[in-house]
Amino acid sequence: MAKIQLISRRVVKLCFAVALLLATSANITASAQYYGAPYYGAQCDAPTSCCDTCDSPCDTSGACDSCGNEGGCLLCSNYTRFSKSLASSGIALQNNVTQFYMGNTTGGLEREFRYSGHGDYVMNADFGKLGIQEGLFLKIRAEHRFGESLAGTTGAFLPSNVAADLPVTDSDKLYITNFLITQALSENFVLFAGKLDTLDGDVNAFAHGRGIRQFSNLAFVGTPLALRSVPYSTLGLGFAYLLDGEPLFSFTVLNAKDTAGTIGLNELFEDGAALTSELRLPTQFMGKPGHQLFGGSWNSRSFVSLGQDPRIVLPNVPIARQVGSWSLYWNMDQYVVTDPCKPGKGWGYFARAGIADRDTNPLAYYLSAGLGGTSPIARRDNDSFGIGYYYSGTSNQIGPLLSIALGSPIGDGQGVELFYNAAVSPMLTITPDLQVISPSRDNLDTALVAGLRVNLAF
């Protein structure tokens, strides 16, 4: 058996090397809008207007030069022009520094306010524009956290501001969580390989944003069910089929365990592999844009304990040894109101649902729904809002183990989050955030989390 596993690992590593070779040898033109893996690639917020698109560090089109001098301070305008000039040459920057001052005011485990933050620095290189090779892209992401984490104060398993705990919970060092090579083999088909993070998976127009642009609570950033079988940052490879520049179908093979703190080559497929796949179908219900996403994940490694994950708050409780873990999930977003003169402006509703392996996953099923999008307040169409509700069902296999470890009966968890993004400038947003969280631990009272999030995008 050991010999078979060794041969399997060598075969997978060979496939990984071949994918990298293909990614650097093909010579086919592709859309410059695509910089990374569809499940885990860089996702920019939808442009809100001509001028907003110009001011966004995601913009590479140079289509709105006439808006370049509208408003803003001289320093911001100069930086905007510099970013646009750099992007037109093939280097696009998308950087964020997010600060949180949030606290639990009642219930839960601890009642105090804490300051924390997260730095997210992304560079997308288009080697076609750089004159090296058409259809070849490189995405590099560096992340770090700072301050005191709020995780654990509410007693809930899902952190109320997940970005403040990433990429490594107990470290404030800068880590490279993405070094991803993407090569287009046609206008609609791409290969990718390298190190990639998974927080951009399970894309949703109104409930996504990496915990720094939309909701802060992990429950609305993605599907919590997939965390058990999908590492946060690790080596992987895959392919995607694009429709109108957006991922329609993707398939990814990942190293089975997280390697955010290391390069990951020494651990490559040592403990097995994780497989993920997503199908994201565009819709036009009621004549308005929307999406229906269907996804799944599977991890072949052996699970012997819950372990600590920066995306979820759990004690390191031993469990009966199980080989493999899986999850199936669905999400949808649907615009209700749109502005035909301003693409990306509007609001709508979202929903998520999923199930997971009860023998290895502390969450057996998950549901969420809510509203979000551009602020409906007149003359504040650069602002955005969101309100959501989630319900997480605890596994009847893992729940009793948690009850023993925590000394409390374990039930299901639920919560509500409400935020309002006030755009002070094209680069700065201030976000009041309010959360009501009912922890899975039955001996804890409902927690009320309140605070501010300040995001500087440059």
Token digits of residue 438: 């009912």
**Count: domains in the chain:** 1
Q: Residue 73 has what pLDDT?
A: 60
CATH code of 362's domain: 2.40.160.180
CA 150 centroid distance within chain: 19
Token digits of residue 410: 């374990």
> pLDDT digits over 55-110, tens only?
333 433 333 333 344 445 666 667 777 778 888 889 999 999 999 999 999 999 99
Q: Residue 238 has what pLDDT?
A: 97
Quote the DSSP letter at residue 447.
Answer: E
Token digits of residue 1: 């058996």
Helix (H, G, I), strand (E, B) or coil at 65: helix
Q: Confirm whether pTM is higher than 0.95.
A: no
Burial group, residue 1, by CB count within 10 angstroms (0-12, 13-18, 19+): exposed
| Residues 178/122, Cβ–Cβ less than 8 Å | yes
The Cβ of residue 244 has, within 10 Å, a number of other Cβ atoms equal to 9
Contacts of 381 (CB under 8 A, 6+ apart): 48, 49, 339, 342, 345, 374, 375
- In which domain, by residue range, is 85 found? 2-457
| Residues 417/216, Cβ–Cβ less than 8 Å | yes
| Residues 241/188, Cβ–Cβ less than 8 Å | yes
3-state secondary structure 365-418: EEEEEEEEEECCCCCCCCCEEEEEEEEEEECCCCHHHHHHHHCCCECCEEEEEE
Could you please report the per-residue DSSP string of 125-177? EETTTTTS-TTEEEEEEEEEEEE---TTSS--SS-SSGGGG-S-TT--S-EEE
pLDDT in tens, the chain (458 residues): 444 344 445 544 544 544 444 443 333 333 333 333 333 333 444 333 334 433 333 433 333 333 344 445 666 667 777 778 888 889 999 999 999 999 999 999 999 999 999 999 999 999 999 999 999 999 999 999 999 999 889 999 999 999 999 999 889 999 999 999 999 999 999 999 999 999 989 999 999 999 999 999 999 999 999 999 999 999 999 999 999 889 999 999 999 989 988 888 888 888 899 999 999 999 999 899 999 999 999 999 988 777 656 687 777 777 778 889 999 999 999 999 998 877 778 999 999 999 999 999 999 999 999 999 999 887 888 999 999 999 999 999 888 888 888 888 899 999 999 999 999 998 999 999 999 999 999 999 999 999 999 999 98
Distance CA 355, CA 364 (A): 6
| Residues 161/152, Cβ–Cβ less than 8 Å | no
Distance CA 294, CA 281 (A): 9
Q: Residue 8 has what pLDDT?
A: 44
CA 337 centroid distance within chain: 25
Q: Residue 184 has what pLDDT?
A: 96
